[in-house]
């Protein structure tokens, strides 16, 4: 992608951000108390042209599946602020499915899961990775001992690459079951 194209992207407001801003503007517009307290003001021409001064455009990929479609991440002070498609990406050629089109909100979402969590006494609690891996391993081993390996089924992820799929298949075989498939199958 050329520097000119990046500049053009820089001047755009992402579709999702635009919809959010429009919704907020509408909500404020119908609330007279906000109108009288100067909560909002009209954006300047410069702010409309360049709402994220000093931002950089970083080429990245969508991680929701192993296709790896191109994403242009606009980053300001280390924060991903806006997303556009990578029209020059050799695989996706500017296309996205709905998951990739919303990749920025998987990062910025306030409900994003950042750590392993377990529900204890009805409440979600953060646990360490070691606890999570140990806990899942113990449950699998217990199932294997008490109900046999065919009491389990292994579902591969859409994020798996070829090598990960190979190891996952091997893991199921070593566990002792042929119950394995791709999650998209169901
Ligand atoms: S989830 Fe969609 S956008 Fe993301 S890499 Fe896969 S096909 Fe591409």
Q: What atom in ligand 1 is closest to the CA of residue 68? A: 5
Q: Whose CA is nearest to atom 2 of ligand 1?
A: 97
15 and 97 share one domain:
yes
Last residue of a domain, one of 90, 108, 126: 108
Domain count, the chain: 3
The Å distance, Cα 83 to ligand 1 centre, comes to 14
The secondary structure of the chain as a DSSP string is --HHHHHHHHTSPPHHHHHHHHHHHHHHHT-HHHHTTT---PPPHHHHH-SSTT-EEEEEE--SSTT--EEEEEEETTEEEEEEE-TT-TTTTT---HHHHTHHHHHH-TT---S-EEEETTEEEE--HHHHHHHHHHHHHHHHHHH-GGG--EEE-TT--HHHHHHHHHHHHHHT---EEEGGG-
Q: Is the pTM of this model over 0.75?
A: no
97 and 12 share one domain:
yes
Q: Given this model, what pLDDT does residue 148 score?
A: 98
Mean pLDDT for back-to-back runs of 10 residues, the chain (186 residues) = 42 50 47 59 92 95 90 96 94 92 90 93 96 97 98 91 92 97 74
The Å distance, Cα 143 to ligand 1 centre, comes to 34
* Residue-range definition of the domain harbouring residue 168: 149-186
Q: Whose CA is nearest to atom 6 of ligand 1?
A: 65
Q: What atom in ligand 1 is closest to the CA of residue 100? A: 3
Q: Given this model, what pLDDT does residue 69 score?
A: 94
């Amino acid at each position: 992608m050329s520097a000119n194209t990046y500049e053009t992207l820089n001047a755009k407001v992402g579709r999702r951000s635009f919809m959010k801003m429009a919704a907020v503007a509408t909500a404020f517009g119908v609330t007279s108390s906000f109108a009288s307290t100067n909560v909002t003001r009209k954006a300047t021409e410069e702010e409309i042209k360049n709402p994220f001064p000093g931002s950089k455009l970083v080429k990245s990929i969508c991680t929701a599946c192993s296709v790896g479609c191109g994403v242009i991440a606009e980053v300001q002070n280390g924060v991903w602020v806006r997303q556009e498609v990578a029209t020059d990406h050799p695989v996706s050629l500017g296309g996205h499915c709905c998951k990739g089109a919303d990749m920025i909100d998987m990062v910025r979402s306030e409900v994003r899961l950042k750590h392993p969590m377990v529900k204890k006494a009805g409440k979600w609690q953060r646990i360490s990775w070691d606890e999570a891996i140990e806990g899942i391993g113990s449950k699998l081993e217990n199932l294997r001992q008490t109900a046999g390996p065919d009491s389990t089924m292994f579902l591969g992820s859409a994020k798996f690459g070829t090598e990960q799929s190979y190891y996952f298949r091997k893991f199921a075989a070593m566990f002792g079951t042929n119950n394995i498939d791709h999650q998209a199958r169901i």
